[in-house]
Structure 1
């Protein structure tokens, strides 16, 4: 067998030199001297990290504003239905998770796509004659955000584009840009309860379009598409041969890709998987009915209160946990945009709403309607006080605009 000998020569303060000799079958051959290099740290941020941008975090984190210390803070910005205590988790869910924890049977690693029994439970729960579902059609993920990431990664390559609603959930763009995928924004129409502008949507399709994202019910709009509108969306997708990314798993055309991508992680939470079948089958229907009743009541209450405020135009929601409100900026000329409007709302009234610039839709703001009824009433009262203080009539607003 050939042998290799590397000799290192260097004396005193001089940089070491590598005197490389190749010795093969007894014959020595010099390859010359190679100057040694002192190792240096060169840990740099990846290209993916540089491309990752979350507009909600970027805008909210940059707000340098303190709430009014004389008023308790009311946050209508956080889309978490449990944080305020008026929409608690059902007791069946809590008990199921407790029993799984006590059993000790779900503390280890699970298959990356989820336990077979859990996938069977999900398939059985959502199966219907019009759309048969089996366990192999189900991949469990760590939350919906990971499901979106998997679906985007399996559908689109760097250099392709996806069609995303505007206003829309900011994570679509955050994930896509980090993967080198272009984002094209199609318009939703507030005057039509946030239906899709189908002509605008279809005009964006080209040979590099990988998928169309349909978010229904919508975050941030709280809208729900009618059956006829969904059929029109399907007609566009069918005509252009563009797959739709919705809250569902795709079939055979991308199944193997999803399986491979799911193996990049350890898989979804094992504790929740252990409790999943009980959660699906033993949570009483009344729990969902009561939750929806609370959200509908809050939506109606918030819509009515905000509709009575000069300078604001709320759009009535039909689902989800959100309500979008248009700011008639011509009546608030001292504010440059919705970000400045909501910053001042925080500093003066201690009410925190997300500016819709976070969702690519300026001059609106988003309200979360999961808070208790008395908190909604108090928040709307403060918003009214704020608007009445800063509202300018048409003539005054026009004069102020001309003076700029």
Structure 2
């Protein structure tokens, strides 16, 4: 099994990273420069968090690997936009005694570092100093670019080599291999910006039909005033779905239409403990699954995620005008943390984004019209909404 492992080449990583670069136009290089600078700051921030919260900050090692990968991604972006192969920069920065006779385009990340790097779970003084040196080198790099001192490719090559040399040394002192950081980075960027959009199979595929979430379903959602109080009612095939809903808030905010987000979870993710409870589709034939994935805690998690996203959406005009690929990565990563331990943690971030954007498109429709016919179309991973006549 070990013989089947193929080391990741630097050129292959750079090629894969280019596929997820969303920035275009004349300011793209400046944006990449800002990215390198910003991610170096994030790396320093992880060390600061671990020093401040030594016992309680448990994500330090993973965070350092992720931030090293992010610095690497932006370096690849700067190199590409400067017409320089990342492998040539790495070869120039590396210890020549480790490289052997391999051509630059065959250079692997493994060749850049010692064969054995001590694993560390806390920042050492040496690593802190190395990070400050890396940040300082990146600062000089950005300053030289701003001043116009890097107009020639040779000058850019020298400056990028100095940054890469510090990055390799920082990885050595952190106990992280750049290959691990690069692989982690690849997984993250394709989780967010995929090469192809292949939908995962339904979580309840093996269950009997009466314990499966609906693959297609139509729900009529409408507002009605009862004793001077506005309520939202829902019906499917003439039968009421759930209880009538209010905003449950002092200031009205239309949250009473929020079940449309759960319907989006069904239509796009194939997941919703809330809808399972509403439609009595809990997987009782598997008591363990019923308890852990369809029970009260799972319902509270979904409601919590929905409420938290709503708070973010209120500040962004309920995501009006946000296109696919436009939701903040940090928001999607927080959602993944929310649902850790539940089925939906296996949903890629891009699919979560689809569910959110489709749910909020339907929500904005209901805000405007106060009623609508919601259509769950799971085979096509779509949530649609149409006018509902009075």
Smaller-chain TM-score bracket: under 0.3
* Structure with more of its chain in helix, by fraction: 2
* Structure with more of its chain in strand, by fraction: 1
Query: Relative contact order: is structure 1 or structure 2 higher (C-alpha 8 Å, sep ≥ 6)?
Result: 1
**Larger-gyration structure (1/2):** 1
For normalisation by structure 1, the TM-score amounts to 0.19
For normalisation by structure 2, the TM-score amounts to 0.19
